């Protein structure tokens, strides 16, 4: 059986696009300095729900 690798990068064009996109992304440190959470909102909402916080 052939092993399947799940990845967003399928070829060199995808790699170049992904690299360019990541160059424009802020680091977690930069996001925190802006007073924001580096955790995506939908993930944060799930975490709060699990902990019993009203959303």
- The 10s digit of each residue's pLDDT in 29-49 is 998 999 988 888 777 788 888
Per-residue model confidence (pLDDT) at position 33: 94
Answer whether 0.75 is exceeded by the pTM: no
Statement: residue 21 has pLDDT above 80: yes
Q: What percent of the chain has pLDDT over 70?
A: 84
Residues 37 and 31: their CA atoms lie apart, in Å, by 7
C-alpha dist (Å) from residue 13 to 10, 30, 40? 8, 28, 27
Confidence band of 1 (pLDDT split at 50, 70, 90): low
Give domain limits for the chain: 12-50
Under 8 Å CB-to-CB from 39, ≥6 apart: which residues? 47
């Amino acid at each position: 059986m052939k092993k399947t690798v799940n990845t967003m990068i399928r070829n060199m064009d995808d790699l170049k696009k992904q690299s360019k996109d990541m160059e424009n992304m802020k680091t977690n440190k930069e996001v925190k300095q802006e007073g924001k959470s580096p955790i995506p909102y939908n993930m944060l909402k799930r975490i709060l729900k699990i902990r019993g916080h009203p959303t």
